Amino acid sequence: MSAGVAALAEFGDKTQLLALLLSARFRAPVPLIAGIITAVLANHLISGEVGTLLAAWLSPATMRWLLVVSFFAAALWMLIPDRAPLAQPPKTPLGAYGTAVVSFFLLEFGDKTQLATVALAAKFQTLLPVVFGTTLGMMCADVPAVLLGEAAARRIPLRLLNRLAAGAFAVLGVLVLAGARA
């Protein structure tokens, strides 16, 4: 579930757009992909830990309602297209790997996939499976962006994918809501 939610949330997201930009700039897919994995794992480990801590601190009823609100908010958020990051990433001595690590780690803060990681870790209270799943989902969206570059971005119907992701988040919200009323 974590991988599917993250993959859907990532299509058309600013981090996927960043993957396209970095791919065009560096033309070094292996260091870029390694940098993205490093940054996402670090960011999602922090996010997942926050989610599991929230689940431990809050009552089950409060946690369910927060999850319902977060999933419906994510569904609405998916309908608002992200803007691309800087058209040309700044020049840096970090190289492809370092630039990917720093830029993805920072850009992921407050992102849909980070918030989904918090919510999923809180719901399932299993840190590593959720982090692995959300990281895998992001990589399913970002690796093709790195490998295929801008040519693929023109052919993928991002608006449709955003709507499908919004629907998936809404369904999760309804499922959690149904569990909250039971």
Assigned token pair, 50: 């926050």
Q: Considering the entire predicted model, what is its pTM?
A: 0.70
Residue 40 has pLDDT above 90, yes or no: yes
Looking at residue 152, its pLDDT comes to: 53
Tell which phi-psi region holds residue 80, choosing left (phi > 0), alpha (psi between -120 and 50) or beta: beta
Task: Tell me the pLDDT of the chain averaged across its residues.
Answer: 79
Angle between helices 127-155 and 29-57 (to 10 degrees): 140
Higher pLDDT, 53 or 168: 53
pLDDT on residue 18: 82
CA distance 135 to 94: 23
Q: What pLDDT is recorded for position 33?
A: 95
Residue with tokens 């369904």: 171
Specify the pLDDT at position 131.
94
Give the phi and the psi of residue 124 in degrees, each rounded to 5.
-90, -15
Residue found by looking up tokens 């799943």 in the block: 133
Dig out the tokens for 39 from the structure: 């940054």
Placement of tokens 């040309």 in the chain: 88
- What's the token pair of residue 108? 């992921």
Residue 48: its pLDDT value, please? 93
- pLDDT tens, position by position, 85-135: 544 555 567 888 998 999 889 888 877 788 889 888 988 888 999 999 999
